[in-house]
């Protein structure tokens, strides 16, 4: 470990849950009420997504997705629910028992009780699609300062109801609800604890928000149909100026630590999984601004769509299971979210299993 005995953290285990129902983009677009079906697959790269089971007792709401992800995570962890000091829930969607949105009690407290984590502090964090990385950042700080020893960050995103609304309401190819057609349902969870050596550790994780752009993506009840809608100004949110804010902030962050991206020697980069074209563009901008070749970009959006706050961890778990991440790999995880939220997490992975 570090010669100065600084406490570091690591990802001790990871788990996901993906509903069994697969809906292709072609099937989804074919159900649009109007004739102005946008080219979703061509523009986003999303070929299919998982969609919650909505039948009977097996209804897969946010709570079920999150709890199943926790169970998967703990199945390969050395920790039991009794061992966890903290449970942090970061879901954007908070559906339980078919309710539209649950505020109290906190989702984290319901999940902690549900898995039997009776000794854990439990609280929610909301930060749009950057939620899980934000939860990891908070837990990282708690462990580094000796407040707790271990904890779990979890999210269950039952988000395809916005696509259900969009197919009813989209009226033109460029529509504020276009992004709703790219989403998929998923749960993800990760246990964080103290690193024990230099093979597995989180080097740095941080986020920032430019709140002046919050109006570029808004979710609210539809005023035309029963259900929830999301309205996104993609031209204002996804452009070079917005992307450069996050890129320059990260490069400046590294400079403040006396290093640069060329010194980091990353093997892979994982972006928020919202559009393959946008990810390619961001990587090109990062390479242009840093003068350093971008590491291999890992994606899973083609299989699962944009799974909101779970997307980085769904992608990481997918590639761990595929065996495409070699032991000892160093990964740059780049969260981005409506707000606008930018961030970065540098993690070394050796023993993490998919």
Q: pLDDT means per 10 residues in the chain (354 residues)?
A: 73 98 95 78 96 89 97 97 98 88 90 96 96 98 97 98 93 87 98 95 96 88 87 88 95 95 96 97 97 97 98 98 96 94 97 91
Q: What is the pLDDT of residue 67?
A: 98
Q: Which two tokens stand for residue 200?
A: 């597995």
Q: Compute the distance between CA of residue 327 and CA of residue 200 in angstroms, rounded to an integer.
A: 9
Among 277, 301, 233, CA closest to 42? 277
Q: Is 0.75 topped by the overall pTM?
A: yes
- Chain centroid to Cα 254, Å, comes to 23
Q: Compute the distance between CA of residue 111 and CA of residue 98 in angstroms, rounded to an integer.
A: 16
Q: Residues for the chain: how many in total? A: 354
Domain covering 9-194, topology? Peroxisomal Thiolase; Chain A, domain 1 (3.40.47)
Q: What is the pLDDT of residue 34?
A: 67
- Chain centroid to Cα 42, Å, comes to 22
Whether 9-194 shares its CATH topology with 201-349 is answered: yes
What three-state secondary structure class fits 317?
helix
Instruction: Give domain limits for the chain.
Output: 9-194, 201-349
Q: Compute the distance between CA of residue 109 and CA of residue 292 in angstroms, rounded to an integer.
A: 44
Q: What is the pLDDT of residue 1?
A: 44
Residue/partner pairs of 167-171 with CB below 8 Å, 24 or more apart: 167/28, 167/31, 167/32, 167/33, 168/33, 168/224, 168/225, 169/33, 169/222, 169/224, 169/225, 169/229, 170/32, 170/33, 170/34, 170/36, 170/37, 170/38, 171/34, 171/36
Region 201-349: CATH code? 3.40.47.10
């Amino acid at each position: 470990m570090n010669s100065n005995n600084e406490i570091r953290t690591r990802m001790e285990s990871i788990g996901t849950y993906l509903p069994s129902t697969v809906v292709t983009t072609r099937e989804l677009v074919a159900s649009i009420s109007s004739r102005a079906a946008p080219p979703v697959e061509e523009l986003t790269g999303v070929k299919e997504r998982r969609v919650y089971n909505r039948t009977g007792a097996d209804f897969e709401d946010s709570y079920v997705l999150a709890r199943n992800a926790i169970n998967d995570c703990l199945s390969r962890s050395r920790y039991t629910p009794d061992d966890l000091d903290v449970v942090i829930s970061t879901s954007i969607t908070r559906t339980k028992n078919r309710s539209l949105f649950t505020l109290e009690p906190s989702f984290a407290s319901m999940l902690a009780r549900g898995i039997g984590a009776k000794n854990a502090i439990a609280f929610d964090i909301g930060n749009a699609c950057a939620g899980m990385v934000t939860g990891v950042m908070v837990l990282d700080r708690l462990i580094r300062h000796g407040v707790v020893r271990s904890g779990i960050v979890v999210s269950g995103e039952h988000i395809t109801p916005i696509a259900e609304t969009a197919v009813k309401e989209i009226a033109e190819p460029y529509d504020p609800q276009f992004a709703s057609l790219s989403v998929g349902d998923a749960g993800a969870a990760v246990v964080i604890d103290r690193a024990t050596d230099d093979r597995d550790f989180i080097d740095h994780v941080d986020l920032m928000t430019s709140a002046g752009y919050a109006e570029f993506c808004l979710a609210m009840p539809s005023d035309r149909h029963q259900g929830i809608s999301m309205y996104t100004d993609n031209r204002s949110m996804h452009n070079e100026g917005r992307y450069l804010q996050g890129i320059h902030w990260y490069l400046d962050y590294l400079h403040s630590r006396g290093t640069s991206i060329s010194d980091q020697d990353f093997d892979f980069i994982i972006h928020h999984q919202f559009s393959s074209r946008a990810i390619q563009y961001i990587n090109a901008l990062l390479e242009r601004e840093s003068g350093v070749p971008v590491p291999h970009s890992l994606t899973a959006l083609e299989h699962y769509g944009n799974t909101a706050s779970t997307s980085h961890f769904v992608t990481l778990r997918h590639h761990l299971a595929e065996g495409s991440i070699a032991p000892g790999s160093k990964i740059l995880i780049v969260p981005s979210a409506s707000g606008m939220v930018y961030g970065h997490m540098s993690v070394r992975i050796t023993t993490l299993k998919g």
